[in-house]
Amino acid sequence: MNREPTQLGIRITAGVLTTALACHLLVVRFVRYRYINKLKRKYPDPSIALRDFDVAEEVFHITSRREFPSLELALFRTYAVPTISRLLFATGEFSKNTSKRAEDTELILLELADAYSHIELLRKGNRVPTQEEIDEQRQRPKDALARLNEIHGKYPILNGDYLYTLSLFIVEPIKWAIFRLWYEIGKRMNLKDIPPTVQKMIEFNKKYARENVHHATTNWKVGKPTVEHLLGRFPKFLHPILSPIVFGFLPALLEPVDVAGFGLKPAHASLITLVSIGFHIRAFFIRHCMLPRYTTVLRTPLKPDPKTKRYKPLYNMYDPTYPDGYCIFELGPDKYKPMKCPIPH
């Protein structure tokens, strides 16, 4: 039996696959850094984002809406501060409707930061948006900030707790532009003594955690429902399987001070190493093998729904909290919900 044609076919197939893989890796390498290289050419001085809020918004749009669209771990770490967890637990929102609380929090934070991304969508296809359209989008973060301050104003929240939460939004996904954007939001919230530089913010974050994160029963009472809420992304029949895995790996994802604050058993060194290796492998695979996003990851819509006149989230990771859409001034606890939305649509 002549094996040469078969062997030749195998070699040709292997050659084609190798060439295709090499071409794919070259394409990924070429386009993976197109955003950052474009920004470097446009802004040779990387510190300009600290001084120019418009530049900070542009960089934040690219990094946080295309590369790292998540802040869930940063929010979770705040629950290890007893003065925060006691207040959150006392509201009853975690025992009544964890999903709604999480959705309200996320939507308010997204509304605070998505104005630039919405305006960029208006400019799609070289279209020039009207000043009225731009003003409409610029008003939305102002409305979200007013609603956030209104809700926070109902509770005796320490300035330090505010700053620690703000610092986690910066320190967890550390970026120059992320610092500038959240620093500006902190100023508009009238927070006092905001650290003026990235380094000072990092120092404050570590110092505040050392002095204020410690164990209290309320920490885990608000932390556990949040983790269980995250499991809602998966079918219910998988929860008994996934729950012990998620709770088992959680201490390896947190800082040691947070693990102690939640009263969790510290992760074994081998598990921490395994998680670290897993993240590095994932980062390597994404960087070298996966094409980057060509579109912006947004949940907040550009315009209200023409039928309901409300903003409908563009996608839902859980059962929709607002199937008919939301009004910014209705986000938050039901007991502080206005009789009607004060924003005319």
Give the tens place of pLDDT for each residue, 53-85.
Answer: 888 888 888 777 766 655 567 788 899 999 999
Of 222, 227, 245, 201, nearest in space to 72 by CA? 227
- Taking the C-alpha atoms of residue 159 and residue 48, their distance in angstroms, rounded to an integer, is 28
Distance of CA 321 to the CA centre of its chain: 18
Give the tens place of pLDDT for each residue, 263-297.
Answer: 999 999 999 999 999 989 988 998 888 888 777 88
Residue 69 CB-density burial (10 A; 0-12 exposed, 13-18 middle, 19+ buried): middle
* pLDDT beneath 50: ranges in the chain: 345
pTM of the model: 0.78
What does the chain come to in residues? 345
